[in-house]
Chains A and B, each alone.
Chain A
Amino acid sequence: MGIAEQNLVGVAAGLASCGKKVFATSPACFLTARALEQIKNDVAYSNNPVNVIGISAGVSYGALGSTHHSLHDYAALRAINNITVVAPADNWETEQAIELAAQTEEPIYLRFGKKPMPPLKDSTGETFAFGKGRVITEGDDVLIIACGETVYPALEAARLLKEENISATVVSMHTIKPLDTDLLAEKAGSCKAILTVEEHSIYGGLGEACASYLLQHGISKPFKIMGIPDEYTVTGSQGEILEHYGISTSGIATAAKELLR
């Protein structure tokens, strides 16, 4: 298709309307900005079961800079009816999400990073479903809800906190929409503070989705959204950018301790 995202999504929607199984893949930054109207009208509102695949999302492209970062995609797609938004965190979730997407006849956005991620835990016997968050580790003090490549540093932060006798629940909330509100309410109810972590703007993503649900359902705890703030994003490698904004093992652990203080 070439460098032509709007055409890519339009053609994908046309093929899907003719019964083909379609995966439309492009860097997340371009796909969900340039082709947003085609995703909205041709895929979601027209209910064409296209698998929209955004690769190298968040700040994966690092030093290529803001043009190549996708920090808006959860926000933009959450506001569009009839599209599921998924960001897997490890190989198992990624494999499961792709297979499930292929079998599911509805509009789906899968958001992938670029960096090889270690497995979050032994997945033997686990089942994967869109809209069902995955509890990685359990603890009573702080609830850390993350998605995509930020789940692993969240899990590492939980290990760090354990050394200081702070126990954490870490949830891989791979489906940002529809949000697993049952799991959110259950885990939020039994912790002292809640931290959300995402490789996305702090506006309109996972954190605000969680905050909105909790506040409207009378669950109020010390709460912090970790993500990229509303500013010109610093330039550097993915690791350097995330570190700068505290989206790292130590940064997440520090934020958790501050919330519990």
Chain B
Amino acid sequence: MDKKDYKVYTLLGDGEMPEGSNWEAALTAAHYKLDNLCAIVDKNSLQITAATADVCNTDPLDEKWKAFGWAVREIDGNDVEVLKSTLQDLPFEAGKPSVVIAHTTKGKGVSYMENVLKWHHGVPSADEYELAIKELDEALLAI
């Protein structure tokens, strides 16, 4: 409306993709050709109770977004460099909102947390916390 040139980002979880309001918003964004809007779906394929595909399958997710009029890119969401370069390409297509389907690993970088459902909302013990911080610090140093 104001023709301002900033971009708007919205971060979504794959577990909330069955929520209808997302798709209402997706329709509206495409209808108004909001190519300054970028949605990022954190697709770790897990949600609080089970694998997302077993709770309510939303695959193929890319085709759904395409059908709703969005320009889609799929990336390794745990690769920060790839994420950065992808976001530098916005908009992916002029006149369309963009969506990044970021394939991620829940608990990435902490050996005992990776892809383990309980860490959706588990609270680490003092020992577990120490180990997690140690592993993450080591990974950071190696970069």
On A, residues with C-beta under 8 Å from B are: 1-7, 34
Contacts and interface: CB of A to CB of B under 8 A. Distances in A.
Indicate the size class of the contact surface on chain B. 10 to 19
Interface string B17-38: 1111100000000000000000
Contacts of A6: 20
B16 interface: yes
Contacts, number: 25
B88 to A, nearest CB: 31
Contacts of A5: 19
B77 interface: no
Contacts of A2: 15, 17-19, 47, 52, 55-56
Contacts of A3: 15-16, 18-19, 47
Interface of B: 15-21, 47, 52, 55-56
A125 to B, nearest CB: 39
8 contacts: A1-B18, A2-B55, A3-B16, A3-B18, A3-B47, A4-B56, A7-B20, A34-B21
Contacts of B21: 34
Contacts of B19: 2-5
A6 B24 CA distance: 13
B8 to A, nearest CB: 20
A184 to B, nearest CB: 40
A11 to B, nearest CB: 11
Contacts of B52: 2
A1 B18 CA distance: 8
A226 to B, nearest CB: 31
A6 B55 CA distance: 16
Given A2-B47, A2-B55, A6-B20, 20 more contacts: A1-B18, A1-B55, A1-B56, A2-B15, A2-B17, A2-B18, A2-B19, A2-B52, A3-B16, A3-B18, A3-B19, A3-B47, A4-B18, A4-B19, A4-B20, A4-B56, A5-B19, A7-B18, A7-B20, A34-B21
